[in-house]
Structure 1
Amino acid sequence: MKTSTTVLGILGAAAAGAFLGVLFAPDKGSNTRKKISDKSKDYKDNLKSKVDDIMHTISSNGKEIIEEGKARFNAAKEDFNTIKEEAKTVKTNY
């Protein structure tokens, strides 16, 4: 299971639990609605923070992969040019 899926599942379960807890608490309707609104905002902010962290991680890993790919490509290009020069040398000697 992916970490992002697990985090979203946990946050969703916590939000549902908090919502149900506030909904069934003995309190005035206006207070209950305010509590639900406040909790929703808290969970929204928390979820946004988690998603931003996940996107940053993906972006960082993507940049590292691209840089490694460029380095490997350049190394392969240098190896090819070396072999090509050696082949020219062999061809001129025969």
Structure 2
Amino acid sequence: MSNNAGNTLIALIGGVAIGAGIGILFAPAKGEKTREKIKDGYKETKKDLKYKYENLTSEMKETLSTAKLDLDETYGEILSDMSHKTEDVISFLEIKLAELKEQNARLQK
């Protein structure tokens, strides 16, 4: 989980806890109704956290998939570039070899 998402989750849980505590302190309702409100709040928070977790998981999967595609593309480009560079080096060496053979032929005469 990214640091930002972790901080958001901690802040959300802390906010829920503080809100629940304040709600209990200032609630004019009876204990049974208060417990029902807390239970409903817990269920709503659980549902919200599950939604956010699924959203975050989906975003991370998409980001990783995109990163993998980018990495594969970059790897392919590097291999292609290396292949072209290798061909350039081989061509250069063949030209130099031909020049050296000519020089050697002239020196042997």
Match of 1:41 in 2: 43
CA distance in 1 between counterparts of 2:51 and 2:14 reads 17
CA distance in 2 between counterparts of 1:92 and 1:2 reads 55
User: Per-residue CA shift, 1:25-52, capped at 9, x if unaligned?
Assistant: 2322211111110000011111111122
Give structure 2 stretches of 5+ with no counterpart: 98-109
Match of 1:92 in 2: 94
User: Per-residue CA shift, 1:58-77, capped at 9, x if unaligned?
Assistant: 11211121111111111110
CA distance in 2 between counterparts of 1:89 and 1:14 reads 69
CA distance in 1 between counterparts of 2:46 and 2:6 reads 16
Larger Rg: 2
CA distance in 1 between counterparts of 2:14 and 2:24 reads 15
CA distance in 1 between counterparts of 2:38 and 2:4 reads 27
TM-score normalised by structure 1 residue count: 0.82
Match of 1:13 in 2: 14
TM-score normalised by structure 2 residue count: 0.73
Match of 1:59 in 2: 61
CA distance in 1 between counterparts of 2:57 and 2:42 reads 22
User: Which stretches of structure 1, 4 residues or more, deviate above 4 A after TM superposition?
Assistant: none
Give structure 1 stretches of 5+ with no counterpart: none
**Shift in Å, 1:18:** 2.6
Highest RCO, 1 vs 2 (Cα 8 Å, sep ≥ 6): 1
Identity of aligned residues (%): 20
RMSD: 2.0
What amino acid is the match of 1:14? Answer: G
Match of 2:29 in 1: 27
Length, aligned pairs only: 94
